[in-house]
Amino acid sequence: MKTIKNILFFILCFLLISCKKNDVEHICEERIKARLEYVNIARPADSYNYPVYPGMPEWSEFTTAEEMIVACQVPENILNEMSTQAIIQAIWEYPFVPDVFARYQYQVGFDEVFSENSAYNALTNRNDAGIALLERLKSTNPLMSRVDGEPKFLEILTSQGIFLSQLNEIQKKALIEIALENDNLRQDCGEANNNRASVGLLIGKLLKNVAYEPFIDAMNNNEQLKSFIEDTDYIYIPEGYGNIPQLIIDFANEYIK
């Protein structure tokens, strides 16, 4: 009888611990409220307005994706006059951002979508792009609905080596702290482990960028970790890769101490 009671007791405990939906909702509400106090960055005044955009009648006349992409290139002379935040805004509003997620590896998807994008190319030529992205990331709600924009996309954009290299050590640490905070918030709010790839990729690339020795050693001794950072950053982390984001986050927590 005592054994049965014990079993029932532990089952009840684990039901409460493992699937704590009410707790999650409560924590989320509090933390989102706190985060929203410093969230939001206004759309820059010099933002580019795409002349043709999905939903417009003219858009329906395109018969190939290539035609659409050509129509969505911001002219170079306009880009030259735009602020860095406005260029980031143009990238943010680029109609094909969701296509990054239609591929199964963030970096592969990002490269495919943005390798020949005029706004992105202009951003890579801005020396303050890294800082601007840091500011943008700091001001973005990591739990923002995709309806309003994809915060994970911003993490992938920021993780590009050229932007990370523009940051000094303090800024890099600040970026790691923001990424950790984003991850904490998502985990508290019940985001599944297989959605941690973007933050794992950002932090992992940062730790590699700063040549954090324990992390570099780990990469050299862990094929999956190395592969995740340099090659196969699965958006939806399959079995065997499940502990990689957590491993990266553990290193990041050590690094910022």
Partner 1 sequence: MKTKFIFIVSALFFTLLCNAQTVYLYTPNGSQVYAFQRSEMSASDISYYTNSYANTYPQATVLSNASELYNCHSYAWNIVEGGPTCWLNQDPDLHKYWDDDSYQQTVENLGEKIFYYNGDHSAIKSQTHTGMYESKWGSMPLMRHAPDYGPTIYDMQYRRYYKKSPPISGPSTICTTPATYTLSAGSASSWGVTPTSAFSLTSTYTASAVVKPLQLSGQAGTLTALVNGVAVTKAFTACSVTISGPDTVCAANAGYSLPAGAVAILRRQPAAPSGRRFFYPSPSGGCAPIVLRRAARPVIRLLFRYFDRRVFANNDFVFRAVAQPPNILTVGNQNGDSY
Task: Name the site residues for partner 1 (rule: CB under 8 A).
Answer: 3, 6-7, 10-11, 13-15, 17-19, 54-55, 59-60, 62-66, 68-69, 95-96, 98-105, 108-109, 112-113, 145-147, 192-194, 232, 234, 236, 238-239
**Residue owning tokens 């590699």:** 208
Q: CB of 114: closest distance to partner 1 in angstroms?
A: 10
Distance separating alpha carbons of residues 64 and 46, to the nearest angstrom: 30
Question: Is the CB of 1 or the CB of 170 nearer to partner 1?
Answer: 1
Query: Which residue's CB is nearer to partner 1, number 84 or number 140?
Result: 140
3-state secondary structure of 234: strand
CB contact at 8 A, 218 and 248: no
Among residues 44 and 95, whose Cβ is nearest to partner 1?
Answer: 95
Nearer to partner 1, 214 or 238 (CB): 238
Q: Using N-to-C axis directions, what is the helix angle for 151-158 and 169-188, rounded to 10°?
A: 150
For residue 110, the 8-state DSSP code is H
Q: Minimum distance from CB of 98 to partner 1 (Å)? A: 6
Residue 152 · residue 236 · CB < 8 Å? no
* Nearest alpha carbon to residue 74 among 121, 125, 124, 127: 121
